[in-house]
Structure 1
Amino acid sequence: MSLNNTTVPAMINTVSTIPYDTGDNAWMMTSTALVLLMTPALAFFYGGLVDHKNILNQLFLSFVCMGIVFLQWVLFGFSFAFGPPVSSGFGSFGWSVLRFGESYNSNYSPTYPLLTYCAYQATFAIITPALISGAIVGRMKTIPYMIFIFVWSTVCYDPMAHWVWGENGWLKQLGTLDFAGGTVVHILSGVSGLVASIILGKRHDYDPKSTTAHNLPFTILGTCLLWVGWSGFNGGSANSASGLAALAVINTHTAAATGLVTWVVIDAMRGHVSISGACIGPIVGLVAITPACGFVQPGWSILIAIIAVCVVYVLLLLKKYMHYDDTLDVAIVHGCGGITGAFMTGLFSQKWVNEAGGSDGAFYGRPVQLWYQIAGILTAIGFAAACTAGILLPLHWTIGIRLAKEEEIEGLDVSAHGESWEVAASNAVSNLIASMIEEKLSRTRHLEQHGSFNLQYIPPNAGEKSITVPVSNVSIKAEAPPDCNTQKNEEQEMYTERSNEV
């Protein structure tokens, strides 16, 4: 994504007779696969942190982006972001439905097919709206969410990608540096997540002092896969299998490792090491280094990660005093992490590190670069906030975006999808019910029952309605043994044992 700053008079897009560099093409296709992996990795990262009643829905909110956004990207998204420009602010329909075929383009893919570049950029477009889903956990209707990500990708992500990475984008021409998505991906998604959470309002059972994380192994798995996938996220942004790609990759892993260690050390100093916190640490380091990884020396990546983790850690401690419900802290981790990284890119970047697209920062005698970074940061914040509010408020006033209270309390897995992931728990309940029925009707030769097992909450106020939550639907078919009396003690022991297990 970091391309030569030299202004090219016209978009060159012709069928090439010169063989492509197979090494560059192979690296870019590998990077495409790595970044695409990050969306299901994000699903696991988020999924392990939410309440058990919303895990399937949370996985779906990331998964569905792979379908909706990629289709949008092929139809017109890539053309809006990188197609023949109408102006420095907008692309066009010129490359809609990817009509260019296996063409050569000197601006975006000088050594490999333009289709490879299109596929690589599509993976960025997919994961960006998926990041927003972490801010709206458990309270947004599914259909409005899908409409939102389609429209948001079109009116928010595509123009911002053009401004920052398009050959004639106005922020690129201004001098704003963003190697792999600090502004385009993380600030956009963080700010949009914050605005979405404010418009939706707090969850009915919101408690800022508690955590609903139910499956931290999922979160650890997601963290590790995100870390691996970030190699393509940042390394592929070099646009070739080059020394610049190697620099981006080493900076990426250095920042992730620093973020992990920094978070663990701070936690240990405060008395205990949180597993969920240890997963957030490397993510913050990765977010912060993303805009800078192709512009700074590896030593700076350590400092960038330390500063970003400290900023995010303090903000998370202060979150309980903030009056909004960003469920998985998208605004703080991605928004503030991206802002911190983009700002420090203006401090520590060096021209010699990236001769083609880099610039010297404030620490190397060029303080104006810091102002170019601030311009990009403020543009991303304002544009993301305006687009998100402009999409969600009309949806809220027309079809509605917020779940009913009863559906929210029940959980979206059941209310939105009619399914549950807790197979083991359901089987345990079914076994318990089977034992109970067999014990009570042990003298009946044949038995077939269909029913449900419910938990009931009875409020202390007699005027309030009680709440019944179905735990399991069961179907029991049993046959009593020939001599029930001789097995009475054995059945009683079996019933007691299964009850204790559940």
Structure 2
Amino acid sequence: MNTTKLFNHDTGDNAWMMTSTALVLLMTPALAFFYGGLVDRKNILNQLFLSFICMGIVFVQWVLFGFSFAFGPSTKIGYGSFEWLALHFGESENALYSPTYPLLTFAAYQATFAIITPALISGAIVGRMKLIPYMLFIFIWSTICYDPMARWVWSTNGWLKHLGTLDFAGGTVVHILSGVSGLVASIILGKRADFDPRSTTAHNLPFTILGTGLLWVGWSGFNGGSANSANGIAALALVNTNAAAAAGLITWVVIDAIRGRVSISGACVGPIVGLVAVTPACGFIQPGWALLFGVIAACMVYFLLLLKHYMRVDDTLDVAFVHGGGGILGAFLTGLFSEKAVNPSAAFDGAFYGRPIQLWYQTVGILTAIGFAALCTAGILYPLDWIIGIRLAKEDELEGLDLTAHGESWEVAASRAVGDLVKQILEEQGTNKEKIEDNGSFELHYTPSDSNAKSFSVPLSTRQTTIDFESDDRCWK
């Protein structure tokens, strides 16, 4: 680390970028909760882990060579160079990427994008992919798919950037890439053994609501930090982010209400699709258009999901629709509504402002991301399948990955709690502690409201019984 030179960093810019880094990093555990509440209870721990492990795998990859491959100094259009391996450049600034704050801050900020992108893919394949192949896939995919795409769109030497493709905060690099990769991965893996396109396995919607709220908050750093400075563009991106999310939420709820019932899980999807759609445009458009982005995205994804049961593909948590579809829509709408007057240093006028060729530049970026993601995903998974196998055995799928992959389960153990309760009651009744044995029994008694129906009791051992509080989608009280 260089400690001999004093750098005149802008403390405001650096503070905002470090805050944004923390906000975007928060989005990965938030995604784990968002996804975790929507999966079958037998796979919740596994789904949480699939997102969580990306924070380890991808950050190590990013420090070793990922950042250098994506942003390192090189005139090549593919990968960068090996010059910034292990981030050995110290506290230096960089006139191209971080002119007012340390390049290390920029590297850390971009790492959070690299982390959450493959984590998004996990929602498409949960419940049927082996753990070790998944981790290998994350490492390889980040290297050969994410790093080049980030370079093409955001690097000063990126060919899509030079062409004129606009992507302020990751509509192309993050959402189209992950959505398409998730779809291709789900096709290659095939359907779950117990797949039913007309059913839902969401087992813990409070988890999903928590994840949605944290994602919404974290997206302020995702989009606002992409201004690369604590300036007016960051404020614009922040307002547009929240406007699109709010419009997506309200639109989804209104459509649900018109159809007769407001779905909580659907209300969580609404703001997410608004956020996805506005991401590539949030630094290039006026706030009024951000509201429109949210409305259009929510309507599109809502009606696509109504057709989901006709699909033959098992994209478990609709990654292709929400992120792939939302990212494609947002990138295309950017070509319509971007305005140079809003952001003179980075934006171009879109078709709505008299420059229709911007639609072509956006289309090139969209098609490149779709084709490249599909090619990379298939090129990784097929060899992995041939070499070590990627699909779980049917019996393991049916039992769930929490037990088969992790040896743990999503349960609340009640035996010790029941035993302690019995001891406390006996003590209050004056029973000597020496006479209290932790091997008695306890009963749960159910009395139905219908007098003609039978009541029943469930005997529980205070030593050995375990109650699954999520069993059969019912909650014991």
Q: TM-score, normalised by structure 1?
A: 0.83
Q: Specify the SS of the correspondent of 2:398.
A: helix
Q: Specify the SS of the correspondent of 2:80.
A: coil
Match of residue 117 from structure 2? 128
CA distance in 2, matches of 1:308, 1:214: 26
Q: Per-residue displacement from partner, 1:318-353 (whole Å, max 9, x unpaired)?
A: 111111000000000000000000000000000011
Q: Per-residue displacement from partner, 1:413-468 (whole Å, max 9, x unpaired)?
A: 1110001121246768999xxxxxxxxxxxxx99998xxxxxxxxxxxxxxxxxxx
Instruction: Select the residue among 131, 148, 164 that pairs with 2:153.
Output: 164
Root mean square deviation of aligned Cα: 2.4
CA distance in 1, matches of 2:461, 2:27: 38
1:134–1:328 CA contact under 8 A, matched in 2 = yes
Counterpart residue identity of residue 253, structure 1: N
Aligned-pair CA distance for 1:179: 0.1
1:16–1:104 CA contact under 8 A, matched in 2 = no
Counterpart residue identity of residue 83, structure 1: G
Q: How many residues align?
A: 435
1:248 to 2:268 alignment: no
Counterpart residue identity of residue 248, structure 1: A
Q: Specify the SS of the correspondent of 1:353.
A: coil
2:133–2:390 CA contact under 8 A, matched in 1 = yes
Match of residue 444 from structure 2? none
Match of residue 292 from structure 1? 281
Q: Specify the SS of the correspondent of 1:423.
A: coil
Q: Specify the SS of the correspondent of 2:49.
A: helix
Aligned-pair CA distance for 1:35: 0.2
1:349–1:361 CA contact under 8 A, matched in 2 = yes
Match of residue 8 from structure 1? none
Instruction: Select the residue among 388, 394, 399 that pairs with 1:405.
Output: 394
1:107–1:167 CA contact under 8 A, matched in 2 = yes
Aligned-pair CA distance for 1:188: 0.3
Match of residue 492 from structure 1? none
Q: Specify the SS of the correspondent of 1:351.
A: coil
CA distance in 2, matches of 1:233, 1:176: 19
CA distance in 1, matches of 2:416, 2:246: 41
CA 501–233 in structure 1, closer or farther in 2 if over 3 Å, else same: closer
CA 427–44 in structure 1, closer or farther in 2 if over 3 Å, else same: farther
Instruction: Select the residue among 25, 29, 52 that pairs with 2:41.
Output: 52
Q: Per-residue displacement from partner, 1:80-118 (whole Å, max 9, x unpaired)?
A: 000012512221111011111111210000000000000
CA 302–204 in structure 1, closer or farther in 2 if over 3 Å, else same: same
1:303 to 2:284 alignment: no
CA distance in 2, matches of 1:216, 1:380: 32
2:118–2:138 CA contact under 8 A, matched in 1 = yes
- Larger C-alpha radius of gyration, 1 or 2? 1
Instruction: Select the residue among 1, 7, 11 that pairs with 1:22.
Output: 11
Match of residue 427 from structure 2? none
CA 106–426 in structure 1, closer or farther in 2 if over 3 Å, else same: farther
2:416–2:462 CA contact under 8 A, matched in 1 = no
Counterpart residue identity of residue 188, structure 2: I
Match of residue 405 from structure 2? 416
Instruction: Select the residue among 136, 139, 157 that pairs with 1:147.
Output: 136
The within-5 A match list for 1:29-178 is: 29-178=18-167
The within-5 A match list for 1:276-287 is: 276-287=265-276
Q: Which moved more, 1:302-311 or 1:237-246?
A: 302-311
Match of residue 463 from structure 2? 476
Counterpart residue identity of residue 391, structure 1: I
1:141–1:403 CA contact under 8 A, matched in 2 = yes
1:222 to 2:211 alignment: yes
Q: Per-residue displacement from partner, 1:142-200 (whole Å, max 9, x unpaired)?
A: 10000000000000000000000000100000000000000000000000000000011
The within-5 A match list for 1:196-275 is: 196-275=185-264
CA distance in 2, matches of 1:430, 1:133: 40
Q: Which runs of 5+ in 1 are unaligned?
A: 1-12, 432-444, 450-472, 479-499
1:180–1:237 CA contact under 8 A, matched in 2 = yes
CA distance in 2, matches of 1:307, 1:19: 45
2:415–2:462 CA contact under 8 A, matched in 1 = no
CA distance in 2, matches of 1:426, 1:413: 21
CA distance in 2, matches of 1:16, 1:166: 27
CA distance in 1, matches of 2:167, 2:17: 18
CA distance in 2, matches of 1:213, 1:343: 32
Match of residue 336 from structure 2? 347
Counterpart residue identity of residue 260, structure 1: L
Aligned-pair CA distance for 1:208: 0.6
Match of residue 463 from structure 1? none
CA 426–269 in structure 1, closer or farther in 2 if over 3 Å, else same: farther
CA 64–25 in structure 1, closer or farther in 2 if over 3 Å, else same: same
Aligned-pair CA distance for 1:305: 1.1
Instruction: Select the residue among 371, 377, 380 that pairs with 2:369.
Output: 380
2:416–2:463 CA contact under 8 A, matched in 1 = no
1:392 to 2:391 alignment: no
1:448–1:477 CA contact under 8 A, matched in 2 = no
Counterpart residue identity of residue 476, structure 1: R
2:73–2:81 CA contact under 8 A, matched in 1 = yes
CA 310–363 in structure 1, closer or farther in 2 if over 3 Å, else same: same
